[in-house]
């Protein structure tokens, strides 16, 4: 039976925060994508075909190149290894990879080999023609030896390996199997984005990432429902010794299947402009997440959100960490209170994502030791000034320094959980310093809110927020309500 619950957001954001420490070795078919846009206003007098008047052209990396592009755009390191042609298309790919900052020492240009390219012609955002220039040819023995040599040299620097098979020849004739064997001997996980019906060539890989149609073709039967997906995946796992299979299912999301367990991650509804390269984004993000410490279900949840972002873009697209964080937050809908407790890095990414959606972000802070009506009123007023409110919460050590050795009454975990459960609070971040200035600098809120017992001149962070174009708002407090007075009444045995 497939389980449908989503993982908690916090470990997902922790994994994303570690992307910068990950290096991925990418081997496969590198393709140049060319996008030509224009308008169609007439039919050719030479034949009954439309005439496209070109208005613009864009080049992008496709195939394994798009995998590399997504890895780099997410802040990680990528090592491309392949063989391409010593031609103009190959030169363009080398230049583009160099511009990304990728190490191109393992990308070999060979005379007599054609670099694959795909040209897409579109009018009014509708693709009208695709023109492919390619030659499907396995590696020669000399090319294969050089590729294996570069692969082995690079493997020591990599945390995980992706085989991006577009069927153009690089991974044919047992090359994929040889690379997988090398990875297994080295103890490195290897993911394969498969091509064709015969998955025996990927035997022993950690996982393969087919879409639903590819999964059915490999299993030899059509698959649609959850049970059919699971059965087909388990047949392939048993036949080819995969640890698990990640099956992408378009609008139905993604399924992660092992011999014993199956999980399904539902997709977030998005307007789809172009699915070009979405699979590259999915495997790149999945590999990064896995190498960054996420388990396979968490990694699939992150990759599923990434795929949802890029299908909303035109052309072979990539995404940023900020876009990914925003998509993950939206995919969970209203978060459980414990999931709204973030560290500073995750909160900063969330703030960027909110701002990119056109939302204003507010910030307030305090100890909030024993929650009372004054606190609730302050937070409600703060939330009325913005679309999203982040609350900076003094840590236990910080409260002790400010309030004395008998405080806090409630520890930071309990205080954070109570505050995060309030409808007016969208995120809680615990900070260790005596003031929230470092946190304010990191979050860059649009609105800074404090109680009217302060003046703007005495509000920590006011200058920084105002200089960045933001506002400082002072809200009225509820008279006679404070944690100190509440504690005093409790100690005196008094009541309201």
For residues 476 and 492, what is the distance between their CA atoms, to the nearest angstrom? 28
Is the Cβ–Cβ distance between 40 and 53 less than 8 Å? yes
H/E element, 23: strand 23-28
- Is omega for the bond preceding 408 within 30 degrees of 0, making it cis? yes
Helices and strands (H, E) in the chain, number of each type: 17, 18
For residues 437 and 344, what is the distance between their CA atoms, to the nearest angstrom? 12
Q: Which residue has the tokens 């790919």?
A: 93
| DSSP 8-class letter at 481 | -
Q: Which of 258, 339, 247 is nearest to 300 (CA)?
A: 247
Q: Which of 102, 45, 93, 95 is nearest to 73 (CA)?
A: 102
Backbone angles phi, psi at 473, to 5 degrees: -120, 130
For residues 421 and 362, what is the distance between their CA atoms, to the nearest angstrom? 17
In terms of C-beta density within 10 A (0-12 exposed, 13-18 middle, 19 or more buried), how is residue 336 classed? Answer: exposed
For residues 37 and 58, what is the distance between their CA atoms, to the nearest angstrom? 9
Q: Which residue has the tokens 């990640």?
A: 246
Q: What residues are annotated to the active site?
A: 280
The tokens for 383 are 């939330």
Between strands 427-431 and 388-394, the pairing is parallel
Residues tagged in the binding site annotation for ATP: 211-214
| DSSP 8-class letter at 193 | E
Backbone angles phi, psi at 409, to 5 degrees: -75, -40
For residues 33 and 184, what is the distance between their CA atoms, to the nearest angstrom? 33
Q: 355 forms bridges with which residues in the sheet?
A: none
For residues 496 and 481, what is the distance between their CA atoms, to the nearest angstrom? 11
Is the Cβ–Cβ distance between 280 and 311 less than 8 Å? no
For residues 261 and 165, what is the distance between their CA atoms, to the nearest angstrom? 27
Strand, coil or helix: 422: coil
CA distances, 482 to each of 52, 55, 366, 417, 485 (Å):
71, 65, 12, 20, 5
């Amino acid at each position: 039976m497939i389980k449908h619950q989503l993982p908690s957001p916090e470990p997902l954001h922790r994994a994303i925060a570690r992307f910068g420490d990950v290096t991925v070795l990418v081997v496969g078919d590198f393709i140049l994508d060319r996008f030509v846009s224009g308008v169609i206003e007439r039919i050719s007098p030479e034949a009954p075909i439309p005439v496209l008047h070109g208005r613009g052209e864009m080049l992008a990396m496709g195939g394994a190149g798009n995998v590399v592009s997504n890895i780099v755009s997410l802040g990680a390191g990528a090592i491309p290894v392949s063989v391409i042609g010593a031609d103009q298309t190959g030169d363009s790919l080398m230049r583009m990879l160099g511009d990304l900052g990728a190490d191109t020492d393992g990308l070999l240009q060979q005379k007599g080999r054609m670099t694959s390219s795909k040209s897409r012609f579109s009018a009014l955002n509708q693709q009208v023609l695709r023109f492919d220039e390619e030659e499907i040819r396995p590696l020669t023995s000399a090319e294969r030896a050089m590729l294996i040599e570069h692969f082995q040299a690079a493997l020591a620097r990599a945390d995980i390996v992706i085989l991006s098979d577009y069927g153009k020849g690089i991974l044919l004739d047992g090359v994929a199997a040889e690379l997988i064997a090398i990875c297994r001997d080295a103890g490195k996980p290897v993911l394969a984005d498969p091509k064709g019906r015969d998955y025996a060539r990927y035997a022993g890989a950690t996982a393969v990432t087919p879409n639903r149609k590819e999964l059915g073709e490999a299993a030899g039967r059509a698959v649609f429902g959850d049970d059919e997906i699971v059965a087909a995946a388990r047949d392939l796992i048993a036949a080819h010794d995969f640890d698990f299979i990640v099956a992408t299912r378009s609008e139905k999301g993604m399924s992660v299947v092992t011999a014993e367990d199956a999980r399904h991650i539902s997709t977030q509804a998005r307007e789809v402009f172009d699915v070009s390269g979405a699979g590259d984004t999915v495997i790149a993000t999945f590999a990064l997440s896995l190498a960054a410490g996420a388990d396979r279900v968490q990694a699939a949840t992150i990759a599923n959100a990434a795929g949802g972002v890029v299908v909303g873009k035109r052309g072979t697209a990539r995404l940023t960490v900020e876009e990914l964080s925003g998509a993950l937050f939206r995919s969970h809908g209203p978060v459980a209170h414990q999931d709204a407790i973030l560290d500073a890095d995750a909160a900063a990414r969330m703030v960027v994502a909110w701002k990119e959606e056109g939302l204003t972000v507010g910030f307030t802070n305090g100890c909030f030791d024993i929650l009372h009506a004054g606190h609730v009123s302050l937070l409600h007023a703060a939330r009325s000034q913005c679309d999203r409110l982040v609350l900076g919460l003094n840590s236990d050590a910080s409260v002790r320094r400010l309030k004395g050795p008998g405080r806090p009454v409630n520890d930071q975990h309990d205080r954070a959980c109570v505050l995060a459960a309030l409808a007016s609070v969208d995120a809680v971040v615990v900070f260790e310093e005596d003031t929230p200035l470092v946190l304010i600098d990191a979050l860059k809120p649009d609105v800074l809110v404090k109680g009217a017992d302060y003046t703007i001149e005495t509000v920590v962070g006011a200058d920084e927020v105002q200089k960045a174009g933001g506002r400082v708002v002072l809200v009225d407090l509820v008279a006679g309500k404070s944690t100190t007075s509440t504690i005093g009444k409790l100690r005196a045995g008094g009541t309201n």
